[in-house]
Amino acid sequence: MIVIDRLKSPKQDLSSLFVLRKEGDSPIDSKLLSEDLMEFVNRELKENNRTFFAFNKISHWEIIALVEDSENKSKNIDTQRRLAAKLLDFCDNEYIKHLQLVSNISKDETMGFVEGMLLASYTFDSYKTDPKKCIHPFDKLSIVNPFVDSKDIDQALIIARAVEKCKDLVNEPFCSLNAEGLAAAFVNMSHEAGIEVDVWHKDKIETEKMGGLLAVNKGSVDPPTFTIMTYKPEKTINKQPLVLVGKGLVYDTGGLNLKPGDYMNDMKEDMAGAAMMASALYAVASLGLPIYVVGLFPSTDNRPCGNAYASGDIINMYDGTNVEVINTDAEGRLILADALAYAKKLSPMLVIDSATLTGAAARAIGPYGIAAIQQRAEDYMSLLKQCGESTYERIAEFPFWEEYDELIKSDIADIKNCGPGEAGMITAGKFLAHFTDYPYLHLDIAGVAMSSVKKDYINKGASGYGVRLIVDFIQSLVLNKDIQQ
């Protein structure tokens, strides 16, 4: 991770980025730059609509970026994140190791730039054997802004570190991260952040009769795990916990309903929901937020081996519900359902789950946001959408009408594990909601957990999408007196 610090005033002979705001047709002006330079910039802006300039001063660089002023504050901040990613690429290409940011933009926009630089600077190079391919020349950003203090930077670094933990877990191949390995990673994160943690192994899971998790695990040679992370500081805003649930499917072949080969290429990502929620909880604890949070993470892989569960099977779930298996590739909802049923014991104020659950969600909204549903949680959904805008990890809420319940009715059991094909994201949500009796939000991150290309500050591979959203949501809960218990 790059180093971030503050400077009281710009340093000479240090490469600098000057971010200047465009205000209508008015000329750009800055007392920190020469009149000749400003004249050139304004001429290029007027004649060629040029907004990015880089001048090699031999001992250092002077870089100028002009930004539009939008009425949408969230868009302005995301513009800075994207600018930071562009600058990082430029610095790496020119072997600039240290840059100072000098701007007339707001504190929030400045921190957006910092956030974008931190997110874009991530690399996963654990398996690179050529050291030259691991070099990331840029390593330090200095902020020249009187409104940004050390606390702001420390917070940004904590959240970025949490996102990196999420990305590392999702990028890690299944050969080195099975269910027990994922649980061990969560234990390490918990110890680092002062979170109480308990891992259930197969014998405990069998004793507790978590039928969904055990069924999916039947075709695997590796045992399942169920990890419980509990963060409860001395003073909290809530007596009933906020519960975060994440799908920890470390690899998904589809089971006996085997996926076509190309669809298995990224299936190491199928535990991104658990990685996202555990990493968010790590950030919340590291920030010392005064809120009681519990994380529940069921984990296994889904294989077609040995005594694998089959279509037509009936599974007796943790809460006693009998589920008819229609498709063994609809396995994530089975392991999540046991965790959601377990959450009832905690009398939660709210439960949010996250999962790479359905291709239907990805097809519906593409790689641009999270598909979501809510039950008995309208106010929480409204707040989550606001946080989605501020972090630019946006939420698309789907309808959750009672007519969709018909699609998961079974002729021979209580419910079936998937519907006839239409409204796939919603029917998956209906299945999960069957196991809840509390305010509930379901987040389907199938379209955003991995990226096939680098796009601005989102890296190729694991995106870490959703960690910043959940942290911002929890920070907002702490501040929002109207929505607290």
Phi-psi region of 132 (alpha: psi -120 to 50; beta: other; left: phi over 0): alpha
For 233-248, what is each residue's pLDDT tens digit? 999 999 999 999 999 9
Q: Which residues contact 447 (CB under 8 A, 6 or more apart)?
A: 361, 362, 365, 366, 367, 368, 369, 370, 371
CA 323, CA 320: separation in Å to the nearest integer? 9
CB 360 within 8 A of CB 336: no
Whose CA is closest to 213, among 249, 264, 256, 266? 249
Buried b (16+ CB within 10 A) or exposed e, 239-259: eebbbbbbbbbbbbbbbbbee
Reported as half-sphere exposure (CB side, CA atoms, 13 A), residue 198 has a value of 8
Query: In the numeric block, which tokens belong to residue 107?
Result: 């504190």
For 461-485, what is each residue's pLDDT tens digit? 999 999 999 999 999 999 987 676 6
The confidence score (pLDDT) of residue 177 equals: 97
Percent above pLDDT 90 for the chain: 85
Q: What is the mean pLDDT of residues 100-104?
A: 89
For 11-26, what is each residue's pLDDT tens digit? 988 999 999 888 777 7
Confidence grade of residue 30 (pLDDT, cut at 50, 70, 90): confident
Q: Which of 29-33, 71-75, 312-316, 402-406 has the lowest mean pLDDT?
A: 29-33
Across-strand partners of 298? 226
CA 206, CA 184: separation in Å to the nearest integer? 20
Average pLDDT value for the chain: 94
Confidence grade of residue 103 (pLDDT, cut at 50, 70, 90): confident
Q: What is the mean pLDDT of residues 246-251?
A: 98
CB 62 within 8 A of CB 55: yes
Q: What is the mean pLDDT of residues 440-457?
A: 96
For 189-210, what is each residue's pLDDT tens digit? 999 999 999 999 999 999 999 9
Q: What is the mean pLDDT of residues 124-149?
A: 85
Query: In the numeric block, which tokens belong to residue 271?
Result: 């535990």
For 317-369, what is each residue's pLDDT tens digit? 999 999 999 999 999 999 999 999 999 999 999 999 999 999 999 999 999 99
Q: What is the mean pLDDT of residues 252-256?
A: 96
CA 16, CA 200: separation in Å to the nearest integer? 52
The confidence score (pLDDT) of residue 485 equals: 61
- The full set of domains in the chain, from first to last, is 3-147 (3.40.220.10), 157-479 (3.40.630.10)
Give Cα separations from 115 to 94, 153, 161, 177, 242 (angstroms).
Answer: 22, 9, 11, 28, 26
Whose CA is closest to 120, among 171, 74, 166, 160? 160
Expressed in angstroms, the distance from the first to the final Cα of the chain is 38
Catalytic residue, candidates 268, 303, 333, 430: 333
Residue, of 421 and 157, whose pLDDT is higher: 157
Q: What is the mean pLDDT of residues 439-459?
A: 96
Q: Is 287 exposed, middle or buried (0-12, 13-18, 19+ CB in 10 A)?
A: middle
Query: In the numeric block, which tokens belong to residue 165?
Result: 């933990």
CA 9, CA 334: separation in Å to the nearest integer? 57
Q: What is the mean pLDDT of residues 418-423?
A: 92
The confidence score (pLDDT) of residue 484 equals: 64
Q: What is the pTM of this model?
A: 0.96
Residue 175 has pLDDT above 90, yes or no: yes
The most confident of the ranges 34-43, 61-70, 375-384 is 375-384
198: phi then psi, degrees, rounded to nearest 5: -140, 130
Confidence grade of residue 129 (pLDDT, cut at 50, 70, 90): confident
Q: Could you confirm whether 333 is annotated as catalytic?
A: yes
The residue written with tokens 């002729």 in the block is 411
Residue 373 has pLDDT above 80, yes or no: yes
Catalytic residue, candidates 86, 209, 259, 344: 259
Residue 261 has pLDDT above 80, yes or no: no
